[in-house]
Structure 1
Amino acid sequence: MRYDGPIYRPPSEADSLLVQATVGCPHNKCSFCMTYKKGPPFRVRPVAEIVQDLREAREELGPGVRTLFFPAGDSLAMPTGDLAAICAEGRKLFPHLERITVYAGMKSILKHGPQGLRRLREAGLQRLHVGLETGHDPTLLRVKKGVTSAQQIEAGRLALEAGLELSLYVVLGLAGPEESQAHARATAWVVNAINQAGTLSLRLRTLLPKINTLLLHQLNKGRFTLCTPQQTIAEAGLIIAGLTGPLSLHSDHYTNHLNLRGSLPKDRELLLAQVEEARCLPRDAFRRDFVGTQ
């Protein structure tokens, strides 16, 4: 099988077969992300090549593969027919598949529209991993996310209504200390607005200024300030307090200062108690800031 450029997958896809469908990221402008800043440029791999890789994987691994993930940064940006074709081929080659998943951008969801999303679901695509990052429009604009909260809500609802699972990612600390509470409250509001169409998973990440990013440059020039661990934990508490659910909450990532996991609304009080306890801890109880070292 062939791979081109950085290959990333969510922690929840650790056991998945990875077959590359696209290269790079079609947006590639987010100020906090360094993944594809030095290339390669975005392109869609030919369906014939992807199918060949799937067949090679079948020869090597047999028919028992349970989960399949198609990298790279936004494979939902593929034409509907192409993505449907490789999903269908994956289902044919691996009859025991429990899910097929991709990274997806909100604009890519909107591009397919209701009919295209339903076609993808029928072809076997099941879960979309989507970087929501924040529901706070000023922060979305500042970090060059390329979407508005209104577009996030429209896209998220379309995906859920098509029967797709949504795994949304939120970045704690992304707005800095001054807009921290606004970021948290707006994010909870957007998630609730999306979740009217079904249930979803919310995954928390904490901002780390990465090398080769505009955000790191802004931080070094004094144009951005990092939140303290206590402030990012407080953000998590505000988000949890504002979520109506039903949804599952995860913080399965090394960036986080506190591991929060549960179901909302059932576990809300337990999670908020964990937040309050962690907010009282001293700075040296948490990991150090990794500023421009990764």
Structure 2
Amino acid sequence: MADHRFIRPLIVCFLMMMMMSSQVCASDWTNIIIPESAISKGAVCLDGSPPAYYFRNGSGDGVDNWLIYMEGGGWCISNKGCLERTKIYTGTSTLKPKRMYFTDILSEDQTINPDFYNWNRVFVAYCDSSSYLGMLNPGSRIFDSVMEDLLAKGMKNAKNAILSGGSAGGLGTILHCDGFRSLIPKASRVKCISDAGFFIHAKKLHGAQERERFFADMIAYHGATKHLPASCTTKMNPSLCIFPENIVKDIQTPLFFLESAFDGHQEFWFTLAIAMDTSWTTAGALTRQHCEK
């Protein structure tokens, strides 16, 4: 028979460890934030709900440093497509989680994120489907609204700041990079990181005209021309100025690209689906069938 004199202390110790663990985990979560003046300024998601972001305060020697990450999630280029997106998380803030656990470059674990663990860290939720660029479906106002909120929270006094984003958010990072720099003119260093946002033009690949039309449709539908660099739009068709290869040389703020040599999204969706004039779902199914042979 087990000796209860030894079991009871073990149970107490286990429960204390569990309580400590839950407290540590709870501190790593951050609540959703809704910019108060967003709707009154026309900054809304596709469904009319307000934009949202998640924020963790900096500490120690990172208290004056800021890292903003803009979520991606593709585009819509028609009334039907955008209406469908109002029912999923890429078109509304109502379906965003109320709390988020920061990981990777937003993590506050120094062992896995030694460079930014104690910076002010922000995750901007994606809900406009225009890479934060649209004026008709106001993605650009969402960007402005969130930045205004962050400036009021102390970003105006930033010493170092990084704007980053992934996929559609990575493209938004490229096109907002210089504008972001202008918001914090007193900062010592401001840089941008585009993760998987360098969407290729690939003029020599099959389907180039279809790609150009798809990108042009996005610009036209969302009224995004205003946020394309004038240094590019004055030299070529504005619809080509959303391809990073045509605009990066004119961006003045230091910009780093993180891009896979085998970007599955671009390889399959931007070439196979568009070139075949079929849906992305069909293209994905055909791709999987081919790879499984």
TM over 0.5: no
Alignment TM-score, normalising by the size of structure 2: 0.34
Alignment TM-score, normalising by the size of structure 1: 0.34
* Larger relative contact order (CA 8 Å, sep ≥ 6): 2
